[in-house]
Amino acid sequence: MAGKSERIRVIEDGGRNVGGVDDLGYRSAQPKDGFDALLDSTSQEAGILYWERVGELIPRIGEDEKLQRKLAIWADANDLVLVHEEELVEEDEPVPQDDDEAVFIAPLETEERKGKLAGKKKNGDETDTFGPDFLAGIDINDHIGLYLKEATRRPLLTADQEKELIQRIRSGDKDALDIMCGSNSRLVISVAKRYLGRGEFFLDLIQEGNLGLLKAIEKFDPHRGYKFSTYATWWIRQKITRAIAEKGRGIRLPVHRFDQISRLYHQISDLRQEKQEEPTIDEISVATGETREYVQGLLMVAATPQSLDTIVGEDEDSTLGDFVEDKGANVVSRGEYNILHEQIEKLLTIIDNPRDQAILELRYGLRDGCCYSLEDTARIIGITPKNVWQIEGKALKRLKPMASQMGLKPDNSVKSPYVDLTKKDQETMFQEKVRKSLHFIKKPRDREIIELRFGLRDGKKRTLEETGRIIGVTRERIRQIEERILIKLGLKPEEKALKDK
């Protein structure tokens, strides 16, 4: 029989070898590979697997996050609930101090323990643990109220009744399953209530808890001597916490990371109650046995993401994004450019002909920051490149005396701030340039194609296929028309790459 060291090596391999020499070079004679050895080597009771006993077999499980992820995935695949033995110890319910903490923190006592606090009848049967304050604090509307009212009508089951129903369920009795689920609806609601404010709606929490209840009914073995309510609570909690980890945040957290943060907040709550003040990072680090960097990292990950579009201020006319510094912006260059741009616009008022003004704006990037070639300008204006060159020369001669008086010199050039823009800003600038050039497009159908493709009509960009269906032509025809129009507008190759293909 293989020794403990070989068994550890098999498990730490994460289930990759099936006898012989594994990928890490260890030889294994185990009939079960990877984490499956835990099923025989740990105290695996009715689908509950204790972290402490896993740690005895795999000493480095606490430090190896990659191994923890593998263990969490394996446990879910094998319908096992990973819990800590200390969670069975009675303790007061921790109180979250802020929204971030409320997402992860949850009481660790079981529903069985809550039943004990309510007392027992003299004949030994349980009392109804769901008293008048069962639904206190829950904001319910009509459909939620009807569901909760129906759940409270179902009578609680005795241990003998539960055993009988489980046997009938194993025989395929669907009525027994309905009775079992209905009678434990209050248990699901009670657990779900404790997870309100974690990012999920109350009914969604109840539905996730019902899935856990069904799993508990499927795996419960009454001959082991455990109470069904105790056993079901673990599965209900697991399904609810997994749902919160998967769906309760804008940015999904891996399950193992969610569990780590939850335990950290419980330890912080214990320290807070013990010291009667907010613990420091160093105190948390000492209490948890983790490094300061590890604790800070978990707290940073636990922070609730905030949308940059969040409205702030009393007037509600600003967003959070308005106050976030753009570290990539060249503020000095853009300011100089804007001043110079205003001076040149004032200078252009000397030119009376709108066509001549448009030529100078296109040639020197005064319209949208892009300097067009003679050919591109000629296509946009509708004249020959030679005419563009002649008009430009005459206009510059007229502007030269006034430019000298304003202190504008030929070498007084400022780098355009558009080169410092992000790709998103460039796309926005490109879209605006197309919008300004729409009046050059004569055919209504061509104009409609450009409006659909670049979201100029309703802000939604259409694909070639969508545009083709709306216009009534093929995808390839849309591409050809679009390319022809963009060339006519004088787009450069690098600008074409910015458009939505």
Task: Please report the sign of the dihedral spanned by the C-alpha atoms of residue 324, residue 328, residue 333, residue 338.
Answer: negative
Burial of 251 (0-12, 13-18, 19+ CB in 10 A): exposed
Q: Specify the pTM.
A: 0.44
Give the Cα separation of 14 and 64 in Å (integer): 12
- Domain topology for 421-496: Arc Repressor Mutant, subunit A (1.10.10)
pLDDT of 373: 81
* Beta-carbon-side half-sphere exposure of residue 209 (alpha carbons within 13 Å): 26
pLDDT of 307: 78
H or E element that contains 152? helix 142-153
Specify the residue for token string 């929490």: 205
**pLDDT tens, residue by residue, 14-65:** 444 333 333 333 333 333 455 666 665 444 445 666 666 676 667 666 666 6
Note whether 90-118+149-302 and 421-496 share their fold: no
Q: For the domain with range 332-418, which CATH number is right: 1.10.760.10, 1.10.10.10, 3.40.50.970, 3.90.1710.10? A: 1.10.10.10
pLDDT of 94: 46
Give the Cα separation of 70 and 78 in Å (integer): 12
pLDDT of 108: 39
CA 132 to chain CA centroid, nearest Å: 38
Taking CA atoms, 42 is separated from 39, 51, 93, 328, in Å, by 6, 10, 30, 55
Q: Is 90-118+149-302 a domain of CATH 1.20.1070?
A: no
Question: Where do the structural domains in the chain lie, given as residue ranges?
Answer: 4-85, 90-118+149-302, 332-418, 421-496
pLDDT of 204: 87
pLDDT of 190: 85
DSSP class of 325: -
Computed on alpha carbons and rounded to an integer, the radius of gyration of the chain in Å comes to 35
For the chain, give percent helix, strand, coil, nearest 5.
60, 5, 35
Backbone angles phi, psi at 50, to 5 degrees: -90, 135
Give the Cα separation of 294 and 122 in Å (integer): 51
* 8 A C-beta contact, residue 367 and residue 490: no
pLDDT of 112: 41
Q: Which residues have CB under 8 Å from 467's CB, separation 6+?
A: 449, 452, 453, 478
Strand partners, 20: 28
Residues of the chain with pLDDT below 50 are: 1-32, 41-45, 86-99, 102, 106-132, 410-421, 492-501
CA 257 to chain CA centroid, nearest Å: 14
Give the Cα separation of 454 and 427 in Å (integer): 10
